[in-house]
Structure formats: C-alpha cells, structure tokens
C-alpha cells in the first residue's frame, strides 16, 4: 500500500525511506535520522551505532588519504591500550599518576633525542597537536621579550613582531592575531619555497620576539636551513647586540631528522634554539591528537606562564591552552617509543623515505610531470605539470585520482609563488611500496585521457590552500 494512502505527504514518505527499513523497524523510527534536534525517544545501542556507522561509510578511506601527515594506522595492541586509557583525564595527575609519569618520560625521551642540555630536567608538556604547541612556544617567546622590554612594553612604539617564512602553517598566523603580534613574513622567491636566513635577519629589530624555522614544510616537505638561520642571527647579535631566539616548528621533521639525518644540526645543539614542537600524531606514529612542546631549559619558559592549580587535592603545574583531554594518546606515544626504539623508528622512517623516492622517480618517468621535491627530507614529494603539458593541470590530476579512491591534494603555493600549483603526496606508515605502485598504475592509466582534454577543467576551488597543524 502506498505511504500516501494514509494521508502522509510525499515529503514525509521520502524522509522515511532515507533510513534503511531494517533500522526503521528495529528502532520504531518513523522519520529519517535526526539532523537538527534531539530525537524524542532513545534508540537501542546497536541501532544508534549502525546509523552513525553507515553515515561515516561515506568518508574517504584514511589509508588512501595522501593529503594528510596524520597517522592512519597503528598496531592492534596500541588500539587496545588507547581503549583502556580513553576514560582517563590527563589533567587529573593525582588520580592518574602513572599516566602523568608516562607524559614525563616522553618529554625526557624527546629532550634526549633533540640534544637538550640536561634531558633529566627537561621542560615540556604534551598538547593536543602542534598547533597548540606552537601557541604555547609563541607565548613564551612573547613573554620573554616583554620581560626584557618592560620599560617600553606595552607602548605604541614597541609592538612585538615574529619573523617567519611565507610558507608557515596557519597556526602561526592565528598566534599573531590572537596574541597581537605583528607577523613579518619572508616572501618566497623563484625555486626557494621557504625562509631565507639573510632575508629573515633583515626583518628583525628590537621588537622581534623570535624567528620561526620549520623542519619540514607542509607545502613541499623540505627542511628549512635552521643552522644557517641561527648563524645569521648570531652575526646580527655581534653587529647590533640584538639577541633573537629561534623556535623550531618540527611538526613533522623533528620525528624524522633525528633518525634519518643524525648529522643535521637543527635542534638544541644550536644555543639559539629556545624551543621545539612536534606532532606525535604525525611521524611520531600515534593516532590524533597529541603534540609536544619542549623548551631548552627553565629559563626559556617564563615561570609566570606556568599555573599551579589546586585540583582534586593536588598541586598541579600546568601550561596548556586545553585542560581536560584523554590520556590515551600519551599512553600510545609511550607505547610507540618502547615498541620501536631508535632503530625501529629509523627503519619505519627510512621505509617511508624509500617509498617516497621510488614513487617520485616513477612519477617523473611518466614524462608529464616536474618534481619539486622527491622525498629526500620529509618523505613527501610534490610535483607540477611539465611545461609542455597544456591539456590539463594538477587540479585535474587530483580530481581524477579521486575516482580511484586516492586523496591527493592540489593547491597553489603561498603568496609570491601563487602562480605555481602542485600536487603533494605524503608517504607515512601504512602507505606501502605496493600501494605506491598502485598509485602509479592508476596515474599512468588516466594520463592518456587527460592528454585528450581540450584544456584544463575550470574549477572555482583553485585557490590558495592554507595548511593547519593537527
């Protein structure tokens, strides 16, 4: 019998059919899944699970998402461990002292990995990701500057500024906006897609709170020259007396370079490096979201920024933008450190770099693409179309690869090089050589079709991409 025969409108009938009839019968639903208001009655847990599960099936396959740096696979034991800890609020250090101890151990291990002067008394904390970590380190830079310039700050003539490359993640722009700091960006130029030490020094003055160097740019995967940047700032101090600290945004590279490029000097071995952040959920090989912020020593983190809270019966020092969050990711980070050790991390990151290099070579062999980076630093490669290609562009490549399930982003580079659009492939744990070979096969399969296009497809989405820390 037609649904309309009972006086129901066609619109009501169509909304009813939006839910699988089996779910409807089991739950007694008469309408589609609620979207804008709470349902009137509860559902049984299996039905609620199934409705949400089916909705999420429309998401992309995380393992085929080559746009993200974020970890998309961990071992089953890590999954179990995180499940056992997800109900623990990491801020409750009195109630969960062992979780707090695991956080302390992770900070000490990172401090040792990054050559802090004394890792046993390392100053650092976990965060929800590198964005929060960058905010914290930026706040410390500003407070140190303000303390040194107390006679001039705040005043109209003493507005603090932060020097960075034009390729920084949006979190640094947010920091400058939220904490009223003037951003001074070194523009990109030619084939240089990140900061230039001499140009950075030229932007520094007595109001510069620090310079940000990125160990692993999200735009192309290249390392910025941290040692050269510090040397240029050392020379500035000798000439002018200006003593400008450096923060290393190592969201990705700080968990790659120590294992694959141990002779590269970028960390606390450089006296000018005051703080470093990284994302545990990127090449730290943990599910989102966990990040880490570390300072060279106690002097680099002003004491007035550390709050001591009488919380649930204990005196708890805290320096974070967030308060309550699960301890599961910290436990998973410690598990990963124990599970892999230095040699295990080296093997995992080397495998990712090997996959990236081989993939870069195979893409170059197609003949239609020019490689900008080949995975020689971060296991990341970027490519654009070769000069002779006129029928399609990288946005067409990205769009067509989605037909095979691949999520490969296409975007223009930051200001001063917005004329250049690229595709980027992030190689990480779980993206095997076999999957990379499949990607190349699919790319070879669609290139002949793209060559037959009369022109690149018009796409209103071809705008500058802004990258976020996760």
Block mean pLDDT (10 aa), the chain, length 470: 47 50 53 77 84 83 87 92 88 77 94 94 90 96 92 79 95 95 95 94 97 96 97 98 98 98 98 98 95 94 79 62 84 97 97 98 98 98 97 97 95 92 94 95 98 84 49
* Axis-axis angle for helices 394-401, 433-451 (nearest 10): 120
pLDDT at 2: 43
Per-residue tokens: 286: 């943990």
pLDDT at 46: 85
Antiparallel, parallel or unpaired: β 307-311 and 291-295:
unpaired
Any residues with CB less than 8 A from the CB of 261 and at least 6 apart, and which? Answer: 377
Any residues with CB less than 8 A from the CB of 409 and at least 6 apart, and which? Answer: 66, 67, 398, 423, 424, 465
- Compute the C-alpha angle 257/258/259, nearest 5°: 90
N- to C-terminal Cα separation, the chain: 52
pLDDT at 317: 64
pLDDT at 13: 47
pLDDT at 17: 43
212 closest CA partner among 264, 179, 168, 254: 168
- Write the pLDDT tens digit of every residue in 305-324: 887 766 555 555 677 777 78
- Write the pLDDT tens digit of every residue in 235-289: 999 999 999 999 999 999 999 999 999 999 999 999 999 999 999 999 999 999 9
What is the residue-wise DSSP string for 13-68? Answer: HHHHTTS-HHHHHHHT--SSPPSSS--SS---HHHHHHHHHHHHTTSPPGGGBTT-
162 closest CA partner among 264, 249, 42, 103: 249
Any residues with CB less than 8 A from the CB of 101 and at least 6 apart, and which? Answer: none
- Return d(Cα 72, Cα 49) in angstroms, integer: 22
pLDDT at 322: 77
SS3 label, residue 339: helix
- Return d(Cα 259, Cα 254) in angstroms, integer: 9
Give the chain's domains with CATH numbers: 3-56 (no CATH), 76-337 (3.40.640.10), 352-451 (3.90.1150.160)
Q: Is-cis flag, bond preceding 56, omega within 30?
A: no
* 425 neighbors 416 (Cβ within 8 angstroms): no
Answer whether 0.85 is exceeded by the pTM: yes
Any residues with CB less than 8 A from the CB of 63 and at least 6 apart, and which? Answer: 72, 73, 430, 431, 435
pLDDT at 51: 82
* 122 neighbors 357 (Cβ within 8 angstroms): no
Partner residues linked to 246 by β-bridges: 211, 273
Indicate the Cα dihedral angle 192, 198, 201, 202, nearest 10°: -100
- Return d(Cα 74, Cα 116) in angstroms, integer: 29
Task: Please name the helix (run of DSSP H) or strand (run of DSSP E) that holds residue 142, with its range, or none.
Answer: helix 130-148
Could you give the count of Cα atoms lying within 13 Å of 240 in the half-sphere of its Cβ? Answer: 13
Antiparallel, parallel or unpaired: β 421-426 and 410-412:
antiparallel
Per-residue tokens: 340: 């892999």
- Return d(Cα 87, Cα 93) in angstroms, integer: 14
- Return d(Cα 422, Cα 381) in angstroms, integer: 10
250 closest CA partner among 210, 287, 290, 217: 217
């Amino acid at each position: 019998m037609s649904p309309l025969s009972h006086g129901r409108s066609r619109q009501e009938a169509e909304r009813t059919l939006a839910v699988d009839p089996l779910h409807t019968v089991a739950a007694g639903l008469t309408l589609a899944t609620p979207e804008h208001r709470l349902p009137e009655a509860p559902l049984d847990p299996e039905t609620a699970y199934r409705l949400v599960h089916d909705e999420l099936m429309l998401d992309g396959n995380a393992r085929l998402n080559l746009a993200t740096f974020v970890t998309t696979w961990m071992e089953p034991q890590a999954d179990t461990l995180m499940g056992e800890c997800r109900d623990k609020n990491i801020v409750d250090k009195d109630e969960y002292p062992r979780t707090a101890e695991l956080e302390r151990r992770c900070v000490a291990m990172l401090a040792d990995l990054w050559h802090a002067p004394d890792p046993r008394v390392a100053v650092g904390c976990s965060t929800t990701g590198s964005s929060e970590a960058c905010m914290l380190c930026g706040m410390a830079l500003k407070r140190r500057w303000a303390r040194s310039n107390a006679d001039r700050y705040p005043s109209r003539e003493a507005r603090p500024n932060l020097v960075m490359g034009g390729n920084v993640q949006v979190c640094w722009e947010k920091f400058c906006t939220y904490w009223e700091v003037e951003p001074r960006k070194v523009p990109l130029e030619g084939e240089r897609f990140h900061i230039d030490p001499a140009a950075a020094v030229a932007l520094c003055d007595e109001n510069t709170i620090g310079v940000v160097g990125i160990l692993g740019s999200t735009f192309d995967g290249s390392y910025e020259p941290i040692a050269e940047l510090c040397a240029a700032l050392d020379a500035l101090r000798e000439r002018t007396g200006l003593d400008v600290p450096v923060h290393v945004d190592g969201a990705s590279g700080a968990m790659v370079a120590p294992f694959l490029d141990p002779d590269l000097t970028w960390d606390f071995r450089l006296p000018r490096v005051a703080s470093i952040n990284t994302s545990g959920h990127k090449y730290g090989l943990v599910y989102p979201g966990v990040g880490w912020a570390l300072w060279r020593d106690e002097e680099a983190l002003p004491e007035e920024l550390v709050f001591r809270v009488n919380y649930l019966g204990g005196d708890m020092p805290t320096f974070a933008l967030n308060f309550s969050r699960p301890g599961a990711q910290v436990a998973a980070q410690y598990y990963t450190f124990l599970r892999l050790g230095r040699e295990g991390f080296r093997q995992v990151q080397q495998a990712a770099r090997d996959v990236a290099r081989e993939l870069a070579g195979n893409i170059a062999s197609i003949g239609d693409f020019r490689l900008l980076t080949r995975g020689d630093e971060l296991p990341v490669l970027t490519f654009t179309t070769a000069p002779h290609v006129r029928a399609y562009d990288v946005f067409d490549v990205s769009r067509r690869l989605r037909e095979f399930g691949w999520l490969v982003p296409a975007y223009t580079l930051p200001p001063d090089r917005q004329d250049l659009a690229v595709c980027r492939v992030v190689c990480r744990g779980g993206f095997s050589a076999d999957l990379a070979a499949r990607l190349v096969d699919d790319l070879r399969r669609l290139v002949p079709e793209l060559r037959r296009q009369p022109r690149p497809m018009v796409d209103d989405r071809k705008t500058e991409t802004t990258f976020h820390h996760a």
